[in-house]
Structure 1
Amino acid sequence: MPETNAQNKLKTSDHMRLPPEKKSKIDALWDRFWSGGLSNPLQSIEQMSYLIFMKRLEDMDVLEQRRANATGQAYVSIFGGHEECRWSEWKHKPAEEMMKHVRDVVFPFIKDIHDGEKTLFSQHMKDAVFMVPKPSLVQEAVGIIDELDISGQSSDMQGDIYEYLLSQLATAGKNGQFRTPRHIIRMIVELVDPDVNDRICDPACGTAGFLFTAYRYILRKYTSPDMVIEDEEGDWHNLIGDHITEQKAWDKLHKDTFYGFDFDSTMVRIALMNMVLHGIRAPHIEPTDTLSNQYSGEEEFTVILANPPFKGSIDKNDINDRLTLGTTKTELLFVEKMIRLLEIGGKCGVIVPDGVLFGSSNAHKDLRKLLLEKCQIEGIVSMPSGVFKPYAGVSTAVLIFTKGGNTEKIWFYDMVADGYSLDDKRTPVDRKGDIPDIIERFRKRREENPTDRKGKCFYVSAAEIKANNYDLSISRYKEIEYEEVRYEKPEVIIEKIEELEGKILENIDELKLLLNEET
C-alpha cells in the first residue's frame, strides 16, 4: 500500500523521545487528520489538543479527587452537573452520535469551563471552533487518544505532538518558533530557582513549557522528598505540594503566579489548555506581542523564563516606544523587554543565540552594556550547537541575570553534552550530560570561586569583559590546553617499519610451506 504524504512527513521526525508504541499511535492520529482534510499542521494540533484536553480533563479530575481524599480535603468535581461531558461517558457512542455530542455538548463545556471565574481561559476559548469535519474522524481520533492512556500528570503530551508536527511546518526555523527541549527547560528553571511567592512570566510562551515546568518545580520544592519520583528523563512525578499548608498560598499559585504572552492566538489556546491540565486553574496567558505597543507593562514580575524567537524581526513602526536599542532584531529586543519587565531584584533565565553575546553592532553592544551596568549577570552557560536540532543548528547560551546593581564578575560554564546525541536524531545517550554538574556548580559558584580557565567553569571580571568590548562569549576567555605530542626520531620509526616488514615476510613464507605440505 503506498504511503500517504502524512506518513512520509512523519518519518522525518525520528528525534522525538516517545515510547515507540505511543509514537506509532500519534503517527496514526496525524495520518487520520491529514487524510480527513485537515492538512494545516497548526490547525491539526489545535483540533487534536481539544480532544486530548477532553480526555485529560477527566484524568485530572480523578487525580485531584484522589489527592483530596488522601489529604482529607473537600473536592468539588469540575464535572459537577455535567457528568455527560466526561470522556468515559461518551467515548463509546456511535460515530454520528459522538460527533454531535462532542460538537454541541462537550466542546461548549470545555470552552466555558472556568467562565464563572471570568478567567482568560474562558475568554480566549470563546473564539475556539471545533472543526473536525467527519464523524468517522472524530471516532477514530477518540479511539487512538484513548489508547494513548494519557494521565493528568504525565509528560507534556500536547507539547510532544506540537514538537512532532512543527518539524513539518514550512515556517519552522524561519521565524525562530520551535519548542525548547524539556530537559533544557528544567535546567534553566533549576538555575533560576523560582519560589511560591514569585510572579513568573514568559513573554514568548509558545505551549507554556517554561511556565508549567516552573509550577512543577515549585511543587517539587514543597513536596516531601520521599514522595517525589524522578523518571529516567529527569521529569518529576507525584508532586502534591504537601508543605504548602495555607490556602492563600495555593490560591496565589493558581491565580496570580503564571503569566504568558504569545502573538499567535492558536498557541495561546494550546498553552491555556496545557496550563489548566497541569493544575493551574486560572493562568494569565494572552495573545499579545510583548515587543509592540500592544503591551507596555514594566517592572511587573519577579521571575522571567523564556526562549524568545531567534531569527525574528519586527516592523520598526510597531516597536514599543520604551525600547531603546534602535534595532528590529527580536533576540535583542526581547532581552531588553525582559529587563524592563522585571522588578528590581527579579531574576531572568533566557536562551539567546551566541550572536547576542559577541555581535558587533551598536545594538548588540548597548544591550550587553545594559546587562553589565544595570543588572548582575549571575552566569552564562554556553550550549553546543546541536541542542536545537533538527530545527536549528545555531549555537546558543543560557543567560542568568538579576535586575539591579551592576556586574562584578561572571560565572561561565562550557556545556559539552546535554545527554542526547547532537545530530538531527537527538537519540538518548545518558539523558543528563553536563546538566547535573552545571546545576551543582552554579549553586556552589561563590564558595568554589573557580578561576582556572582551562576547566569547564570559571569566573571572568566585569573589568576584563568591558576591556574586550563587552564580549560575553566564552570562547573569548576560555583557555585551551594543548597536549604536546612527542614523536620518535625518524630513524627509529624506519627501523620499526623494517622490523614489521620482516615479520610479515616470515609469516608469508610459513603460509607457503603449509600450503605445499597440504598439496
Structure 2
Amino acid sequence: MNKKYQYVITNPPYGSGTIKANTEAISTNRTEIAFICKVIDLLEIGGKACIITPDGVLENPSYKKLRREILEKCEVYAIVSLPKFAFAPYTKEKTYALFIKKRSNTITKIQDKPVWMYIIDNDGLANSDKRFPTKLRNNRNGWMHDEISGWVSTDGIEMPGVLEKRWLTFDDSETKSNWIDEKGIVQTARKGGNIDIERITSDNYETLLPEYYLRPYSPHYINEEEFANELKKIDDEMRRVLSEIS
C-alpha cells in the first residue's frame, strides 16, 4: 500500500546509508537525500513537509539537479537557517528547515513564486556547543535572545515569538535588522526576505542557501603597502624566534 500524507515533519539522519535516492536527478546513498526524495514521494498533491537538512543539500554543486527537481515537483515556500549549534551536542553540523508543498508527481515547470528565506540567529541558548540558556529579557518581559519562543508580557498578554510574527511576510532588504546577541551586544545584518525564483535559477548552481542571498560574503582585499607590512611582521617574528633558539 502506497499511502500518501498531507503533512510530513522529519529530521532525517545524515551520512552514507544503504538506501539509494529514488530520483532521476541524482544517484547517491546519502541518507539525507534519500529521505527528501522519499518525503516528496509520500506527500499527496498539495501536501506539505518540513525537513531538517544539512547545508550541503542546499549548496553543494553536485546536488544542483536535485535542487532543480525539487523546484519542479514542489513549491519551496520557505527555508529557515537554524543556529549552527541548534542540535549540539548530538551534531554540530549547520542545518536548515526546508518547507515544501508538493505540486506534481512528475517533472513539471519550475515554480514561479519566490522563496522566503530567514536566518535564526538566536534560539534562547548560547551560540556554542555548551548551549546554556541565556534568559535575556527586555523591560516588557520579552525575549531578547530567542526568536522562536512566545512570551507573556508584564501586562499578562500572550505575545508571539519573532519568527511567528515575521513568518513569510518579513523582508528587511531595505533596512537591515538589529538584535541582541547572547552577550548583550547589538548586531546588525539582514535576516529575512523573499528571493525571486529568477535570481535562484540564474545562479550557476541554483543555490538555496539563505546566507548566500541575505548575507553574501564580501572579501577584503589588502593593498600592496598592507601586504608588505604583513610580510615584514612575519619576517621580524621569524628572526626573533631564530635568535632565541640559536
Is structure 2 residue 153 aligned with structure 1 residue 418? no
SS in 1 for 2:67: helix
Q: What are the equivalent positions in structure 2 for 1:9-28 lying under 5 Å apart?
A: none
How far 1:297 moved relative to its partner?
Answer: 3.1
Scaled by the length of structure 2, the TM-score of the pair is 0.65
Instruction: Determine the structure 1 residue equivalent to 2:45.
Output: 344
2:20·2:28 contact (CA, 8 Å) conserved in 1? no
- Structure with the largest fraction of helix: 1
Change (3 A) 1:453 1:369: farther
1:301·1:343 contact (CA, 8 Å) conserved in 2? yes
Change (3 A) 1:425 1:480: same
* Structure ranking higher on relative contact order (CA contacts 8 Å, 6+ apart): 2
Instruction: Determine the structure 2 residue equivalent to 1:470.
Output: 206
Is structure 2 residue 80 aligned with structure 1 residue 375? no
- Measure the CA separation in 1 of the matches of 2:8 and 2:192: 24
Instruction: Determine the structure 1 residue equivalent to 2:147.
Output: 434
- Measure the CA separation in 2 of the matches of 1:377 and 1:407: 10
- Measure the CA separation in 2 of the matches of 1:387 and 1:449: 24
- CA root-mean-square deviation: 2.5
Instruction: Determine the structure 2 residue equivalent to 1:384.
Output: 83
How far 1:377 moved relative to its partner?
Answer: 0.8
Q: Percent identity?
A: 31
Scaled by the length of structure 1, the TM-score of the pair is 0.32
Q: What are the equivalent positions in structure 2 for 1:119-198 lying under 5 Å apart?
A: none
Summarize deviations over 1:258-296 as a string: whole Å, max 9, x none: xxxxxxxxxxxxxxxxxxxxxxxxxxxxxxxxxxxxxx8
- Measure the CA separation in 2 of the matches of 1:453 and 1:312: 42
Higher alpha-carbon Rg: 1
Is structure 2 residue 97 aligned with structure 1 residue 398? yes
1:438 alignment partner AA: L
Q: Which runs of 5+ in 2 are unaligned?
A: 105-110, 136-142, 149-160, 177-189, 219-246
How far 1:475 moved relative to its partner?
Answer: 2.2
SS in 2 for 1:377: strand
Instruction: Determine the structure 2 residue equivalent to 1:85.
Output: none
Summarize deviations over 1:412-441 as a string: whole Å, max 9, x none: 101111111122321111386121211221
Is structure 2 residue 13 aligned with structure 1 residue 309? yes
Instruction: Determine the structure 1 residue equivalent to 2:35.
Output: 334
Instruction: Determine the structure 1 residue equivalent to 2:240.
Output: none
- Measure the CA separation in 1 of the matches of 2:32 and 2:80: 17
Change (3 A) 1:342 1:458: same
Q: Which runs of 5+ in 1 are unaligned?
A: 1-295, 483-519
- Measure the CA separation in 1 of the matches of 2:35 and 2:112: 20
How far 1:323 moved relative to its partner?
Answer: 3.9
How far 1:360 moved relative to its partner?
Answer: 1.2
- Measure the CA separation in 2 of the matches of 1:339 and 1:301: 10
How far 1:474 moved relative to its partner?
Answer: 1.5
SS in 2 for 1:402: strand
Instruction: Determine the structure 1 residue equivalent to 2:242.
Output: none
1:477 alignment partner AA: Y
- Measure the CA separation in 1 of the matches of 2:207 and 2:43: 24
SS in 2 for 1:428: coil
SS in 1 for 2:50: strand
2:81·2:210 contact (CA, 8 Å) conserved in 1? yes
Q: After the TM superposition, list the runs of 4 or more consecutive aligned residues in structure 1 that deviate by more than 2 angstroms.
A: 322-325, 422-425, 448-455, 479-482
- Structure with the largest fraction of strand: 2
- Measure the CA separation in 1 of the matches of 2:112 and 2:33: 19
- Measure the CA separation in 2 of the matches of 1:319 and 1:458: 34
